[in-house]
Structure 1
Amino acid sequence: MSRFTRTAASGKPARPAPAPKPRADRPTGPGTAWRPFPRAAWTDVAVLSVLSLLGVLGLETSFGDYNFLVAGLGGLVVGTGIAMLGYSLRLGVVTSVLAGILAYFLLGTPFTMPGEALLGVFPSVSSTAGLALGAVFGWKDIVTLGTPVEAPYYMPVLPYFAAWLIALAGTMLASRWLPTRPRTVWRTGILLIGPVLLYLTGILMGTDKTYFAGLRGVVFAVVAIVWIGWRRTKTESADAQGAARLFRRKILGTATLVLGAVLIGALVGGVLAPDPKSRYVLREEIQPPFDPLEFPSPLAGFRQYTKTLADTPLFSVTGLQPGEMLRLASMDAYDGKLWNVAAADSLVGGSGSFRLVGRTIPAPSLVTSNQDSTVTIDVTGYEDVWLPGVGYPTTVDFDDAASQDESETLRYNAESGTAVLTSGVESGYQYTVSAMLQQTYRDEDLANVPVADVQLPAVQNIPDVVVAKAIEYAGTADTPIDSLRAIEQALKTKGFLSHGLASDGIPSRAGHGADRLNELFTRTQMVGDEEQYAAAMALMARSLNYPARVVMGFAPDVPEEAGAIEITGTDVTAWVEVAFEGVGWVPFYPTPDQTDVPQDQTPKPMTEPQPQVRQPPRMDNEADDLLTAVEIADTKDEDKDKDFELPGWAWVVIGSVGIPLVLLGVPLLVIAALKSRRRRRRRSRGTGDQRAAGAWSELTDGFAELGFEVPRSSSRRQVAVSLEAQLAAQLADTSGASDVVDAAAFVAPHRLVPVADSVDSAVFGGQRIEDDVVESNWTAAMASLATAGKSAGRLRRIFARFRLRSKRDWSQVNVRGSRGSGPGRR
C-alpha cells in the first residue's frame, strides 16, 4: 500500500505534493495554446525535406518537364506545414492527420492542376476529383503510359501526393516521437524510411534513362550518414574540453566522408555504372493494357482487302469445314464515322476490354453450341493485331517455336469472340484454334424468342434516312426475328453489290460514315459492298432497340474434304449479329448478290410554261386559329420542367467545398460520438465509487484535450494542484491580471482539490456511495471543466470537441487506475 493510501485510510489530511516541474518542451504557463516547434526538430525536418526532394527528382525521366517538381515541392510544403502547425496548436495525431487531408485537397490544385483551378488558386470539381484519382490510380498509369506522361490530367498529383505523405509522417515523427526518446541510430534511421521509399519510387517508376543518378545517390548517402552521425550523441553531456575535442572529431570525420563519397562517386561510379538497358524499372516489366482504339477500325480497312490485297495470300487454313467462316473482329460502337470496339473505360467488360489469357480461353456468357471445330492457321501475308479465328475459341496453341513467346501477348474478349496479339501478327506464325460454333436456328424456332438484354455502347449520329428505312422495311412485323429478316431481305433484293473496282459497272465509294450511308439510301439505286450493307443493317436494328453488332471476317469457298484453304483479300466479308435471349448471337447477311446495276434511262419530263395568275390577298384571321392558349401554356410548362438543372456554380461549390467537408466531417462526427459514449458510460455504468472515479477521469481528459498538461503517475490531489496552477495562469492571461497569485481568485468557485478529495474519499472509503454523492462529483467536475473551456478560448474549445486524449495519456490513466484497491480498482 502506497504512502498516499495509508494517509487516506487513517483519516489524516493528505499533504499536497508539489506540482511536477513542467518539461522544457511543454510549457504550462500563460499562452499554452501555442507551443514553439522543437529546435532540434528543425534540423531533422530540413534534412528530410532535402532527401525527399532528391527522391522526387528521380521522376524527371517519366514526366519530361519540371511541372512534377513544382507539384513535389508543393507536397513537401503542405505536409510539413500542417504537421508543424498541428504540433504548435497541440492537436492530437488524429486531428493533425485530418487537417493534413483537408489541406491536401484545398491547397493541392495550384501545385498540380492550375489550369483546372478557379481563379488560378481555388479547387474546382475536376481538380478535387483529380487529386483523389491521382493518389489512387496514378501509380498504375505512370508505369503503363508512354513517356513523357502528359495524360490523364491528374498525373502531376502523383509526386504531390507522395511528397505530402512523406513530409506529413516524417515531420510528425521528428517533432512528437523522436524528441521524447534517447537518440539512437535505429530511431533516427526510422525517419529515413520515407525518403528512401520515395527515392526507390523515382527509380522503379522511371525509365531506363537516368537523371543525374550518380550525383543524386552520392548526395543522398552523404546527407543521410552525416545527419545520423551528428544527431547520435550530444556534446552537452561532456565538459568544455571534451565537447571541443568531440566537435573537432566530428568535423574531421564529416570532411573525410564527404571527400571519400565524392571521389568514389566521380571516379569509381563512372567505371562501375551498370548499362542503362539492364536498369530495372517497372515500366519494362509491366505489360500495359491493350487499347484497341490506338489501332484503326478493322472495318475501315475493308476496301484495302478487296483492292490492294485481292490476290495476296494472307494465310492458309487447315480443318475448315464447308460453310464455316473466320472471325476477325466484332464491333458494337458507332460514332457517326466508324463502327469500332467500345472504349475500354466506357463500358465495363465491353468489346474494347481485352484480358490477358493463357492457352485456355474463357467461354462467353451468351452462346449455344452443338458443334466444335479445330483449325490450324499458317500466316503468310497478313499483318495486324487482330488474330483470325473460328467461332468462339476455347484453346489457342502457337505451334511454331519462333512464335511460342507470342502466346504471352495474347489478349481476348470473351463476349465478342475477338482475340488480339499486342505484339502484332506477322508472317510465319502458325497456331491452332479449337472453338465452339454457334448453333443455327430456323426462324420458326425464334418466333417467340425476345432479343437478349445485352449492355452495348450507345450508337451516335444515326442518319435520319436509316431510321426511316428501318421502319419502312420492318413494316408490320410483330416479332424481332420477322423485323430483322424483313430488313435483311429488303437490303438484299433492292440493293446491288459493288466493291468500287474498275471492273464494276457502277462506282461505289468506300466508308460507312453517316454521309456514306445517307448516300446509300438517297441515290436512285443502293450500291455498296459488305461494309456498307452490314453497317446499315446494324444501325437499323439498333434504331429499333435490337442489340446488334457488325462482325468482320473471311468467307472462303470450302469444298468437301478440302485440305489447306488459301485465304486472299477477295474472301473478306462482313455481317450482322443480333443477340437473342437464351440462344446467342444470330447472324444476318444483308449484302445482295446482284452485281449488274440497271441503267436509269427514263426521260425527264419537259417543263411547260404556265400562265401567271395573281394570288388573292392573304386573310389575317386564318393565322389566329393555328394556336390555342392551352397548347402554349402546356408547352411552356413542359419546357420549364425539362430545362431545370443545377447551375454550374452550384456544382463547383459542391465539389470544392462539399467533398473536403465530407472527408473531414465524417471522422470528426465519429470522434464526437466516441466521446459522448465515453462520458455516458462513465456516468451511468458501474458502482457508485466507479462512477465517481469516472467523473475525475472525465475532468482530466477534458483538461488534456483543452491543451493543459495533466501530470502522469501522480495522485489526484497532485494533479488537481497542478491543473489549478495552470488554470489560474491562463485565467490571468486572458483576464489581464498582473499576478498569477491574484488570478487564483478566479479559480476559487471551481477549485479542483475538493473534487479530487471527494473522489478519493468515494474510491478509498470502502463504503457504499449514494447517487447524490456521485452526481455532486460530476456537477463539480463539469463546472470546473466549463471554466477551463471558457479560459482556453473559442478555437481551443472547438478543437477539444473533436480531440481524444493521446495514447500515452491513456496508458498512464490505466496505470494509475490499477494502483487503486478495493471498490475503486479499475
Structure 2
Amino acid sequence: MNRTRAGFIVINVVLALLATGLAAASFWPVYQDAAFVTMLAVTLAVGAAIALCGALFRWPSIIVAGAAVAAYVVLGVPLAIPSEATGGILPTGQGLSSLLTATWESWKQLVTISLPVGSYQALLVPAFILTLLAIVVCLTVALRAKHGELAALPPVALLAAGILLGPGSSSLPIALNLGLMAILLVWLIWFRWQRRSASIGLLAEHTGVLVETPRERRFAGVRTVVGAAVILVVAGVAGTAAAIVLPARVDRQVVRTAIEQPFDPRAYASPLSGFRNYLEPAESDVPMLTVSGLPADRRIRVATLDTYDGVVYSVGTDQVSSASGSFTRVPSRLEQSGVHGAKDTITVAVRGYSGVWVPGSGQLQQITFAGGDAEALTGSFYYNDTTGTGAVTRGLRSGDAYTLDAVVKPQLTPAQLVDAQPGTAPVPKPAVVPDELTQALQKYSSAQTTPGAKLAAALKGLQADGYISHGIGPNEPVSRSGHGADRITQLLTDDPMVGDQEQYAVTAALMARQLGFPARVVVGFVAPSSAPAGGTVTLTGADISAWIEVQTHGAGWVTVDPTPPIRPIPPKQPETPTQISRPQTNVLPPVDDTQSQRDDPPQAQVDNSDQNNADPLLATILAVLTIVGWTLLGMALVSAPFLAIIGAKWRRRTLRRTAPTSVDRISGGWREFADAAIDHGYNPPPSATRSEFARTVGGSRTAALASVADRAVFGPAAPSPEEADTVWRAVDDLRRALGRRLTPWRRFVALISLRSLGASRGRTVRKTRR
C-alpha cells in the first residue's frame, strides 16, 4: 500500500475521526453538557493533527507521545476544567494543579458521583484523556503500522470505557453502536481491499501478466461490500430484536455499581435512635439550626429511613439491599423536574447541631457551602436522591453554613389520602410486623374498601386514640423510648395509647406498608406554627420530630404527619381480664414472625438472588487475592535469607560510613572494599597487609586506597572529614568497578555471598588493619 497518497491519508483520517467520535459519544450519559461536546470536537481535531504530523514527518514514537502530553497540558484546563481557565481559554496556575491532581484522582470521583456531572470540577478529565489517547493511537496505527486494521481497537476500547464508567442502566441508542460497528467494518474492508490491490499490482509487475481484469476487480469489490452489508444487517436486526424481545431484567454491572461507595450510612447509628436525646433538659432549649427562607411546610429534614428490621428504622442495613443506602457525590446541580412539589431555597446556619447528616428540605437541586470550611464540606458531601438525604463525611459542626435549592414535596392530611392509590417505588419489606399492629389496622380500617381510604382511617384512628408524651421529667406520663417491635406492641396495647413522634411515625409507616403503600420515616425539625413561611427561625432541640412519606399513584411521594394533637392525657385505665391475657399474645408474635420470615418464599428468594448475583464476582476476587497472597508469601519465604544477607551487609556498610571519627571512617572504607573483593572471588594471602591485599586485587587506584588507609591509621596527624568523604567515594567507585567485570548472575552471587561475613574472614580483616 502506498501510505503517502493523499487519498489513503484522507480516508483514514475521516474514518478514524468518525469511529473515535462515535465511541466517545458513549460518555454522553455521563456528562450531558455542551462542555463535553466542545471538548470532544477540539480533542479529536488536535489528536488527529498530532498523529498526521507524526506520519508525514516520520516522527519517532517518543516525539508523538511528547506532543500528546504537551497537548494534554496546554488544552487540559480550558477543555476539561473550563471553570478554572481565564476567559475559558488560558489555563491558570490553580487549573494546572487541578489538572495534575485530576489525572489520577478524577477516575474514582467520576464513579462515585450522581449523573450527569456536566463540567463539574475536573470530572471531564477522564473523557479527555481517553479521547486524546484513542484518536492519537488510532490514526497513528492506521497511517504507519504494518497491520493498519489494528486501528479499530482504540475506538472499541473507548466505547467499552464509556460503558464501564457510565450509568448502571443502558442509555445509549442502538443506532450509535450499530453506526460504530458499520464504520469499523467498512474500515476493515477498505484495508483488506487496499492490501489485496497492492498484492495484485505487485504480482502483475513481477510477472508481466494481467492477474485481474477491471470487471473482475469490480465484481470482487461488490461481493465484499454486499457480504459485509449482509453481516451488518443480520447482526443489527438480531441484536435489536433480542433487545426488544428479551430486555435486560436487571441493571448492568459497571464500575460505579461495583465500587465501594466512600460513604456508607450503615456505619452510623440511625438518626431515629437518638430522637429522645434532643428532648433532654440539657438539649431541648439549645439552638440547633438557624434557617432563613423557611419552607411552607415548616419542616427541615435530617434523614429519610426506609428499612425496618424489627429493632430500628435505618438508612439501609447489612441484611437488606436498599437504594437508600447508596450515597454518591453531587455535581453542580441535580435535575429534579420530575419531582412533584414546590421549589424552595433555604439558608442554614449550624449552631448546636452536629453529625454527618445534612438538614435540608425536599429533593435537592443544588447545595452551596459557605465559610472557611466550604471547600472541605463540598468535597465530603454525598447525597442519596432516592430519599433526599444528604451527608458530609467530615461532619457538620457549629459555624458551618450552606444554601440549598430543593423541591419540597406536598403535605397531605389523612382526609386527603382517601382517594389515593399506592405507588410502585421499591421499598425494603419490613422484617418484623407485630400482630398487634395488624389487629389495630383491621380495627381502624375494616369499614373501608380502598387502600387510600383504609390508610386515611388508620391515621385518623392513631390521632384519635393516641396521646403525646416524651416521658421526660416528673410532669409527663411514662413513655418508653425506642421503636422496636416490642415498643410498637406496647404502644398499641396500652390504654391510653401513649408515645411520641418516634413511635407514631414508625407505626404509621408500617400500617401504610401493610396496605401496599411504599412508605418511609423522616426525622427532622418542625418549626413552631408561629414561624412565618419564608422567614428566619432558630430551631431548638425541642423542635425535633418525625413523620412519614408515602408514595401515591400520580402525586408521587407526599408528606403525612401522623402525630396526634397535644392534649391532656387521661389516667391509665385499670387492667381488665382481657388486658391481663395480653402478655401471652405479646410473647407469641416474635416466634410467629420469625417462623413466617423463614417460610416467606418471596423474601427468601429476593435475598438469595441478591447473594447469588454477588457471589461470582466476590468469589473471583477472593480467589485472585488468595493466589496473589500465597504467591507473595512463597516469594517472601524464598527470598528472606537473601534479603537478610543483603540487609546485614547494608547495615555493616552504614555503620562503617557513619563511624564517629575520620580514622574509623577511612579504615572502615578500606574494610568495606576488602569485603567486596572477597565476595567477588578474590583470595588474599592469610594475614595479608593492606598493600599485599591491594596487589592481589590489582590496579593503581586499589594501591592508592591502601596507602591512604595506612597513612590515616599510622600517620601522626588525624585525617579531616573531607578526606574520609573522598575515601568513601573512591570505595564506591571501586566496588562498582568490581561488579563491571562480572556477568549479572555473578554480580548477584557476589551480592548474597557469605564469604565476607564468615569467621575466617574476620581474622583476615583483623590482619589487614595492621
- TM-score range (shorter-chain normalised) is 0.3 to 0.5
The structure whose Rg is larger is 1
The TM-score with structure 1 as length reference comes to 0.37
Higher-RCO chain (CA-CA 8 Å, sequence separation at least 6): 1
